[in-house]
């Protein structure tokens, strides 16, 4: 989920789509011989992300309004058993020209997550996107900078269909939005 700079919710160098979002990145890899760090939180399907564009993206850059909504859950947190779901959402007015071609450009983002307990986490992450066959993969890897899980490593992987993006990149269609399933892991530092 890439959003233009200067927004209250997210900050990025170049808007991305899909909740996008990396060539599966292995963030926080454990050095040889070191014990793996415990997971503070995991969220799996039906966790999801929806990013929509108005107007629909084409392969010609132009200003767009971007709306994003991510729902996390079911989630399991051994240290915080009351945390079972969360969400983040926002609308970003036009802030720069984007196209379906920019969906694969790496960027960074900062955004809040509100958990079902009312607690919040602020995440700062790098975003990498790729098309693998007919699948659009977006990976957000970074750190929880404040709030619940502060200091922990953040790894979110969004997986969605790439067919509209492939057609758009070829000049044969447009992208109104991207729906992705989401897997989230927050690991103790």
Number of other residues whose CB lies within 10 A of the CB of residue 4: 21
**Count of domains in the chain?**
1
pLDDT tens figures, 86-109: 999 988 777 778 999 999 999 999
Residue 37's pLDDT is 64
pLDDT tens figures, 32-62: 455 556 899 999 999 999 999 999 999 999 9
Place of tokens 């009312």: 118
Q: Does a structural domain hold residue 3?
A: no
- Domain hosting 65: range is 39-50+58-187
What the block records as the tokens of 181 is 């399933």
Q: Does a structural domain hold residue 93?
A: yes
Q: Among 46, 169, 159, which residue's Cα sits nearest to residue 105?
A: 169
Q: Does a structural domain hold residue 136?
A: yes
Q: Does a structural domain hold residue 133?
A: yes
Question: What predicted TM-score, i.e. pTM, was given to this entire model?
Answer: 0.80
């Amino acid at each position: 989920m890439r959003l233009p700079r200067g927004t209250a919710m997210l900050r990025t160098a170049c808007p991305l789509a899909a909740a996008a979002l990396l060539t599966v990145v292995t963030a926080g890899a454990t050095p040889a011989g070191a014990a793996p760090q415990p997971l503070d939180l995991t969220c799996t399907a039906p966790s999801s992300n929806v990013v929509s564009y108005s107007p629909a993206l084409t392969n010609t850059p132009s200003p767009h309004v971007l709306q994003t909504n991510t729902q996390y859950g079911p989630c399991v947190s051994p240290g915080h058993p009351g945390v079972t779901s969360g969400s983040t959402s926002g609308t970003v007015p036009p802030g720069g020209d984007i196209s379906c071609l920019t969906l694969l450009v790496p960027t960074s983002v900062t955004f809040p997550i509100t958990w079902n307990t009312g607690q919040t986490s602020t995440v700062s992450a790098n975003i990498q996107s790729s098309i693998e066959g007919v699948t659009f993969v977006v990976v957000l890897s970074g750190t929880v900078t404040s709030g619940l899980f502060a200091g922990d490593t953040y790894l979110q992987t969004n997986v969605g269909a790439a067919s509209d993006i492939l057609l758009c990149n070829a000049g044969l269609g447009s992208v109104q939005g991207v729906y992705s399933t989401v897997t989230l892991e927050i690991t103790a530092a």
